[in-house]
Amino acid sequence: MARHGGRGWHRRVLAAAVGVTAAAAATSIWTAQANPVAGQHSSAHAGASNAGAKAPGGKPVSMDIAHASDRGARGVNITIDDGPDPTWTPQVLRVLRDNGVKATFCMVGTQAQAHPDLVKTVVAAGHRLCDHTVSHDTTMDTKSQAYQSQQILDAARMITQASGGVRPLYYRAPGGAFTPYSRHLAAAQGMRPLGWNVDSKDFERPGTNAVITTVKSEISNGPTVLFHDAGGDRSQTVAALREVLPWLKQQGYAFGFPVR
């Protein structure tokens, strides 16, 4: 999603995360330093967008920011950011289930830690997990490598623990604040950096019809569509998904996951 200033919800998430990240900082920084790939300076990776990194288990994951769908040219990836949320995530899951759609949930670490049952429900329904950092700091790209490492690795740990052992397969930087370092670190941990092609603008609550119109008019830009299930009243998101998902099917699109 585009960067937005003055988000009270994200400030509260950041405040809630301070204690968590401070307590885990030493472990996270040690992990990054102990990993010779993750610990390299970001300048070493400048211009290396086509490089891959060895994920845990040895399978290479690209550090390129993914936009494409594993369903090909007529594929659509539904991505849901900032949750899980006890009010809105179940409603989003219901709409997805009713339409037979699998999505990618980009979860904030503290939210996942607070609502592990929802994380497990998301996984049980066949959706995929994505690391959206501990505290949703949209200025990640201005921070130190130690801070970026802490935010990414701690969130991955929180999400994995909440899910009962299922790891996130992607990393989405809040507000798109990627750096070469964060992309390489994520890939080294088996998480493909994940972008988007269509920002539904649902976070701004412009009205259900506006959200629907944005998706319909911009889906030709590419397959990965951004929605939210937390951060405030998401009733417009739920209502928009009820109309957008059947419409996309009628247009001949197939729902998939971002490429790995």
Beta strands in the chain (DSSP E): 52-54, 60-62, 75-81, 104-107, 128-131, 170-171, 192-193, 198-199, 224-228, 254-256
Beta strands in 152-257 (DSSP E): 170-171, 192-193, 198-199, 224-228, 254-256
> Is 98 an annotated catalytic residue?
no
Active-site option among 82, 132, 228, 229: 228
The per-residue b/e assignment along 61-83, b for 16 or more CB within 10 angstroms, e otherwise, is bbbbbbbbbebeeebbbbbbbbb
Active-site option among 64, 81, 82, 137: 81
Give the separation between CA 256 and CA 122, rounded to whole angstroms. 16
The per-residue b/e assignment along 138-172, b for 16 or more CB within 10 angstroms, e otherwise, is bebbebebebbbbbbbbbbbbbbebbeebbbbbbb
- Which residue has 């009820």 as its token pair? 242
> Is 64 an annotated catalytic residue?
no
User: Could you list the active site residues?
Assistant: 81, 228
